[in-house]
Chain A
Amino acid sequence: MFYDDIQFGTRMITLMAAGMLVTQLLIVGQRLLPTSIRLFSLQSFLLACLANTVAYFNHARHIYIAAFLTLLLKVIVMPLFLNRIVKRTSETTEVQSYLNTPVSILICGGLTLIGYMVAHPFIKPHQRGHSTLAVATALFLMGFFLMMNRRKAISQVLGLLTAENGLFLAAISLTYGMPLIVELGIFFDVLIAVMIFGILVYRISEIFDSLDTSKLRRLRG
């Protein structure tokens, strides 16, 4: 059957990785916070599907668990949580960034190319899913760029989460999954981090009446 064909699997993996790259670029170009959160949810969904495909073709049963956790936490729980924070705190739902959209998109295009260049020496011709490492590196770099570029705390959290998506993508495409205990640890870590960020965001908005992190400079005595 065609779904047992390893070629077909490779193509599906590459496709989904490309979809993740597209959603990441759209997040960078997006100005509305709720839409960015929805895009992040979509990206995580693609990641979960990709992890499932990798698990199916490499008979790695523990990746199924990681994929399920991704689906549960990153597709459903975290976007809900982030949306609640947005509803409770922010005066506007618009993300504010330091650079304007065309410049940020241009920079992200450059970062993607850097991702491809960095990944190039690792590509062996026979290796499966060879472009996923490039996409993962690009996601990672763009996540960091989002964290630096955004003014508001929530969108910085979103940047961190997309960078983590890139990390997970690199892990499953290179090693076909880390040991389950490591992955569980990472998931727990991210979940706790988001919770703590949530509380922090509440505190920032209470004290400064804004989520603009550049206003935190006022702390200097």
Chain B
Amino acid sequence: MKSWLLQAALQMVLALLLSPLVSGFIRKLKANLQNRRGPGLLQPYHDLFKLIRKGTVVSEHASWLFRVTPYIAFLAALMVSLMIPMVTALVPLSFFGGVLAVVYLLALGRFFVALAALDTASAFGGMGSSREMTISAIAEPAMMLSIFTVAITAGSTNLGWMVQAALQHQERFLSPSHILAFVAMFIVLIAETGRLPVDNPATHLELTMIHEAMILEYSGHYLALIEWGAALKQLVLMTLLVNIFFPIGVGARFSLASVVVGLAAYLGKLFLLASAVALVETSNAKLRLFRVPDFLAVGFILAALALASTFIF
């Protein structure tokens, strides 16, 4: 019980501290790839700190929904980050549910953010939530199908067991179906975190924005919570990608040695994946909004093929 609490606390602290750093790292690398110096690695922390100290302005037409949403979005993302294997295969909140709970908690946060964007009745907010829902309607099934592909090989939808099974039977993993599922999941990551071919994370007030349009009305510590929640969600999706498809180095037990090794492996894998994301963002132009479903359809078909091919082999 004591070690369980310790592990949960450690994982929570790690997720909270690491998630802004990942965003900062991607931003920095992107700037360097474009021959700019870019803001420092710690800039997201400064931003969050500044936003938390500032006062908030809430529209007089806004209802309670607007005030509750930042907490729901942040807490949902935080809960999810305790339900995935990060450094060890032991998941603190594994009794709470497996993959399905992860997907639906993320969906819950997104649902409330979209509702809050509609709540203030600004034109941008409505536009943003309609776009976000359009995209997630395709991205979400693709994500479920690709995770199910791994779940079928592992024989469980519990994420901790999935990683354990992958550690024990390495030969069953890294099959063609997993490659297909990995690429599909990567496309989902790009779409869900609002990265470049789908949405531009670097701009405010652009007619094509999606995520920024939804949170335009937020300020102060509300905005800080939403931004932090988005960073947590990004970390969660990246962790799923690196730990479920490449579980190398994930500790099987909770001990000092396995935590140190696991942490080093985890950070290394995240570094590689974040570099890949930055590379994709730099080398691609933003898609026209009506082309985004085409892009996501590729991911969906890849995931469906992955699932189908697990049954054929």
Contact = CB atoms under 8 A, between A and B. Distances in A.
Interface of A: 7, 11, 14-15, 17-19, 21-22, 25-26, 29, 31, 100-102, 105-106, 108-109, 112-113, 116, 120, 131, 134-135
B48 to A, nearest CB: 37
Contacts of A18: 175-177, 179-180
Contact of B176 (A14, A29, A106): A14
Contacts of B31: none
B302 interface: yes
Given A15-B179, A113-B308, A134-B312, 9 more contacts: A7-B171, A18-B177, A18-B179, A19-B179, A22-B302, A101-B291, A101-B298, A106-B301, A108-B301
B171 A105 contact: no
Given A109-B304, A109-B305, A102 B294 contact: yes
Interface in B262-313: 291, 293-295, 297-298, 301-302, 304-305, 308-309, 312-313
Contacts of A108: 301
Nearest to B298: A29
Nearest to A14: B176
A134 B301 CA distance: 17
A17 B298 CA distance: 19
B176 A135 contact: yes
7 contacts: A21-B176, A21-B180, A29-B294, A29-B297, A106-B297, A113-B312, A116-B309
Given A112-B305, A113-B308, A131-B313, A105 B297 contact: yes
Interface string B176-199: 110110010000000000000000
Contacts of A120: 312
A29 B304 CA distance: 15
Contacts of A15: 174, 176, 179
Q: Give the interface residue-count category, chain B.
A: 20 to 34
B129 to A, nearest CB: 23
A105 B293 CA distance: 12
In this complex, the member of B183, B294, B304, B305 whose beta carbon has the largest number of chain A beta carbons within 10 angstroms is B305
B171 A11 contact: yes
In this complex, the member of B183, B295, B298, B312 whose beta carbon has the largest number of chain A beta carbons within 10 angstroms is B298
A29 B187 CA distance: 13
A108 B304 CA distance: 12
A116 B177 CA distance: 12
A25 B301 contact: yes
Contact of B294 (A22, A25, A101, A109): A101
A105 B176 contact: no
A134 B309 CA distance: 11
Contacts of B179: 15, 18-19, 22
A102 B293 contact: yes
Nearest to B297: A102
A30 to B, nearest CB: 9
Nearest to B138: A102
Contacts of B301: 25, 105-106, 108-109
A116 B176 CA distance: 12
A100 B176 contact: no
A100 B171 contact: no
Nearest to B304: A109
A131 B301 CA distance: 19
A100 B295 CA distance: 12
In this complex, the member of B174, B175, B179, B304 whose beta carbon has the largest number of chain A beta carbons within 10 angstroms is B179
B294 A100 contact: yes
A113 B171 CA distance: 23
Interface string B89-100: 000000000000
A134 B294 CA distance: 26
Contacts of B309: 112, 116
A111 B200 CA distance: 34
A155 B166 CA distance: 40
A112 B301 CA distance: 11
A116 B312 contact: yes
Contacts of A29: 294-295, 297-298
Per CB-CB distance, the 4 closest pairs between chain A and chain B, nearest first, are: A18-B176, A101-B294, A29-B298, A18-B179
A174 B301 CA distance: 28
A81 B74 CA distance: 52
A21 B171 CA distance: 20
Contacts of A19: 179
